[in-house]
């Protein structure tokens, strides 16, 4: 496959060798300096798939550029989901393809499945208070992380006594606390904890490097080629 790397920062540079090791070709490496040149339909359309890891400010424009070029896009940028309805509508109207995940790590997506199951079990036990903690490197631009938001939304869907997540200590019983810490050089730690007066139950995912995220993104790019629609890593991994 010919892959367009949109975003050539830490993640783009981690994805690049995995793309090459798996026998694919890098069509282009798009960054702020050459973005205007490459994100044109006549150039971008030569790609089989685009992998997009940039910033919340540029992600939507990049995704829409891929739609215009008729190129499936795998997006791992977080912090832009307030514009999700617009992007989803455009994807469907133009019969295009998007794989979005807040985290492409295989381990994290298994962690998501575990989080959903545990929340379903804990819904019947109000004596347990639940909270989330996430720790990332200081270069991460959004807080809480997209992964933490996904974990929080999964819990809210299953524990009715929790109505909203907040990025601070909870002040009301219906709030789910998500605490964000930024510490170098941590790639990513997520902890979901249920606490009662007598014990605690905790699940935790620790990323040791970015390679896990990068491999998942490349696997998603391989999986989505030739498909139409909006997909998640649950689709890619067969977890639905």
Residues making up the annotated binding site are 37, 40, 76-78, 101-104, 137, 146-147
pLDDT for the residue numbered 141: 74
| 8 Å CB contact between 231 and 224 | yes
Residues 6+ apart with CB under 8 A from 112: 150, 151, 154, 234, 239
pLDDT in tens, 38-70: 999 999 999 999 999 999 999 999 999 999 999
Residues making up the annotated binding site for NAD(+) are 37, 76-78, 101-104
pLDDT in tens, 186-211: 888 999 999 999 999 999 999 988 89
pLDDT for the residue numbered 120: 98
Distance between CA atoms of residues 116 and 67, nearest Å: 32
Residues 6+ apart with CB under 8 A from 82: none
Residues 6+ apart with CB under 8 A from 72: 48, 49, 50, 66, 96, 97, 98, 99, 221, 224, 225, 227
Confidence of residue 171 (pLDDT cuts 50, 70, 90): very high
Residues making up the annotated binding site for NADP(+) are 40
Which domains does the chain possess? Answer: 2-100+211-237 (3.40.50.720), 106-207 (3.30.360.10)
Q: What is the mean pLDDT of the chain?
A: 95
Does pLDDT of 79 surpass 90?
Answer: no
Distance between CA atoms of residues 130 and 175, nearest Å: 10
pLDDT for the residue numbered 146: 87
Catalogue the active-site residues.
136, 140
pTM, entire model = 0.83
């Amino acid at each position: 496959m010919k892959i367009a790397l949109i975003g050539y920062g830490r993640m783009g540079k981690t994805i690049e060798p995995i793309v090459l090791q798996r026998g694919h070709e890098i069509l282009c490496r798009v960054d702020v300096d050459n973005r205007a040149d490459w994100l044109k339909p006549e150039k971008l359309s030569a790609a089989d798939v685009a992998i997009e890891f940039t910033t919340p400010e540029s992600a939507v424009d990049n995704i829409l550029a891929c739609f215009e070029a008729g190129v499936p896009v795998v997006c791992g940028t977080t912090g832009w989901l307030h514009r999700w309805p617009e992007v989803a509508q455009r994807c469907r109207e133009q019969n295009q393809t998007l794989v979005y995940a807040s985290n492409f790590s295989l381990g994290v997506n298994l962690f998501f499945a575990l989080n959903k199951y545990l929340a379903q079990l804990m819904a019947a036990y109000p004596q347990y208070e639940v909270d989330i903690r996430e720790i990332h490197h200081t270069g991460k631009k959004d807080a809480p992380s997209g992964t933490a938001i996904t974990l929080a939304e999964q819990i809210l869907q299953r524990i009715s006594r929790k109505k909203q997540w907040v990025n601070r200590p909870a002040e009301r019983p219906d709030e789910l606390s998500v605490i964000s810490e930024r510490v170098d050089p941590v790639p990513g730690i997520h902890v979901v904890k249920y606490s009662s007066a007598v014990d605690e139950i905790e699940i935790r995912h620790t990323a040791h490097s970015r390679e896990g995220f990068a491999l998942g993104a490349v696997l998603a790019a391989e999986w989505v080629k030739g498909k139409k629609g909006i997909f998640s890593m649950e689709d890619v991994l067969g977890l639905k």
